[in-house]
Amino acid sequence: MPRSLVHSITNPLRWADYAKKHNVKDTSIFNLEDYNSGSKIEEPQYLSLRAYWSIVDADFFEPDKWGIRDVDTAGGELKKLPHWDEFMNQVGFRGPIETILPIDPKLGVFSNTWYQIQQIRSSKPSADQESNVDFSPAVTRLRSRLDKQSKVASDIFTGSPAHSPTRLTRRLQEISLGRPEQEQVGEASADNATWDFDNTSSPPDDIKKDPTFKFQETFLPVSDETLVNAFIISLAAAVTFSTPGVKALWSLERKGYTVGIDNDTKIFTARTDGHLSLPHLTYSKIIVEVKGMTRESSARIRMQEVAEMAAWIHAEPDIIPEGMRNVPLRDIWFRHMMLCCDRHEVCLVFADYNADYIDYITNATRESSCQSFLVMNELGPWNITVPVDIEIIASVLLAVTLQFSKEQSLL
């Protein structure tokens, strides 16, 4: 299988190799002039965002490492919620879609969440859906600089170390019957099995030479990613809005973040699929991104997430604490969180970056080259049809919502 640019760049040295190859090593997002006017992001665009991924399996997730505190306590709070136990009992239901109605009233506040799980599980496949990121062609941006007229943008779409299972995983596995085999809903098409961004080929996996190799089941996209969007926000809301101490709100609001040189010159715009925020603040605490397909079926999913994270940082930049104004920008660190749901799989993405990267992504007049990166740390996936996985995600969502309700950061 051809290897994607996303999977090839796993550290700054690998980024430098590819950036040099594409002649963008010292070129910023603001002055890169060779954007293609086609419908998909090109390699120079992605490279100019200065990002790389670190991907860790769900079994090795340690909440404390990523700044999420009191997850065990949150798990205990879940058990106090009305209807939670019944929801856990019915999450694994796998009957025909015609049999799900009427919904058991014992599901209570989780009725809609359970309903969305069944819709996703049984949904008929469809083609790839619309992107959440629009890149403006170079000619459009150049003309905008000259005449200050607004222009139309084209659209874009936008795996790794192993460790020992964490205490959180072991604790929940002890009370679970285990992780059942994932439901296979169809054969992957040739289009779903190709990478889009790198012509460099790597040898296919060989089970005889690699004892750790596992065959991966493939899943066709759901008919409408709105089903996925409705599920993840429904779950987040249901496990948080009845818990004392929660002040932050989960919303389906699609916020738009624009990266541009000025108000008239747009480079690209990214739109979220929801977010977590506090009522008295205008900025988001967590953003949500969903897709109707699994992450491994398209490298463009992670490329889009990088663009969305960079746009979020550009539009709502972190404020340097008063006591750190004299500290070098490269030594002041921040973290953003993205909640991702791709078909039946949930991932958590923690983006780490420093104040120097903020300056890079917000300062169009910057003259010095950038040595900083946006590090996208991905944890997951968790399967929404598996009770123990749902309990882990729900515990994390409640814990982090309570944490942000107290206006506590992830660092």
* pLDDT exceeds 60 at position 247: yes
> With 90 as the cut, is the pLDDT of residue 92 above it?
yes
pLDDT band at residue 223 using 50, 70 and 90 as cut-offs:
low
Within 52-109, residue ranges assigned H as helices are: 71-78, 84-90
Q: Which of 26-30, 146-150, 272-276, 330-334 shows the lowest per-residue confidence on average (mean pLDDT)?
A: 146-150
The pLDDT value given to residue 299: 86
pTM for this model (two decimals): 0.80
pLDDT of 32 over the 90 cut: no
Measured in degrees and rounded to the nearest 5, phi and psi for residue 340 equal: -115, 135
* Measured distance CA(319)–CA(14) in Å, rounded: 30
pLDDT number for residue 3:
67
Candidate from 100-114, 217-231, 293-307, 373-387 with smallest mean pLDDT: 217-231
Q: Could you give the percent of the chain with pLDDT greater than 90?
A: 61
Q: How confident is the model at residue 397 (pLDDT cuts 50, 70, 90)?
A: very high
Q: From CA 346, how far away is CA 199, in angstroms rounded?
A: 29
pLDDT for 331: 98
Q: Among candidates 335, 360, 311, 398, which has minimal Cα distance to 73?
A: 398
Listed in sequence order, the DSSP H helices in 123-156 are: 138-147
Residue 333 clears pLDDT 50, i.e. is over it: yes
The stretch 282-292 carries a mean pLDDT of: 96
Indicate the range of 204-218, 277-291, 335-349 predicted with least confidence: 204-218
List Cβ neighbours of 164 (8 Å cut-off, separation of 6 or more). Answer: 60
Beta bridge partners of 262: 265
Q: Is the pLDDT of residue 183 over 70?
A: no
95: alpha, beta or left? (left if phi > 0; alpha if psi -120 to 50): beta
| Cα–Cα dist 28/208, whole Å | 45
Query: Does residue 263 have a pLDDT over 80?
Result: no
pLDDT of 179 above 60: no
Cα–Cα distance measured from residue 408 to residue 410, given in angstroms and rounded to the nearest whole number: 7
Closest CA to 355 of 344, 366, 345, 346: 366
Number of H helices, E strands in the chain: 12, 11
**pLDDT for res 350:** 99
Contact 8, 206 (CB under 8 A): no
- Low-confidence winner among 32-41, 49-58, 142-151, 257-266 (lowest mean pLDDT): 142-151
Is residue 236 pLDDT above 80, yes or no?
A: yes
Model confidence at 105: pLDDT above 60? yes
What integer pLDDT is reported at residue 382 of this predicted model?
A: 98
DSSP 236-300: HHHTTTTSTT---EEE----EEEEEEETTEEEEEEE-S-EEE-TT-SSEEEEEEEESS-GGG-TH
Mean pLDDT of 341-358: 98
Q: Average pLDDT of the chain?
A: 81
More confident residue, 163 or 59: 59
Distance CA 215, CA 75 (A): 32
Which residue's entry shows tokens 């879609």?
A: 97
Torsion angle (degrees, nearest 10) of CA 93, 97, 102, 104: 10
Instruction: Give the end-to-end CA distance of the chain in Å, rounded to a whole number.
Output: 38
pLDDT for residue 337 is more than 90: yes
Contact 286, 338 (CB under 8 A): yes
What is the average pLDDT across 91-102? Answer: 92
What's the pLDDT score for residue 169?
A: 58
Pick from 172-176, 207-211, 238-242, 401-405: least confident: 207-211
Average pLDDT over residues 302-318: 96
The residues with which 331 forms a beta bridge, in sequence order, are none
CB burial of 73-82 (b: ≥16 within 10 Å; e: otherwise) equals: ebbebbeebe
Res 177 pLDDT > 50: no
Q: Which of 16-20, 32-36, 92-96, 182-186 is least confident?
A: 182-186
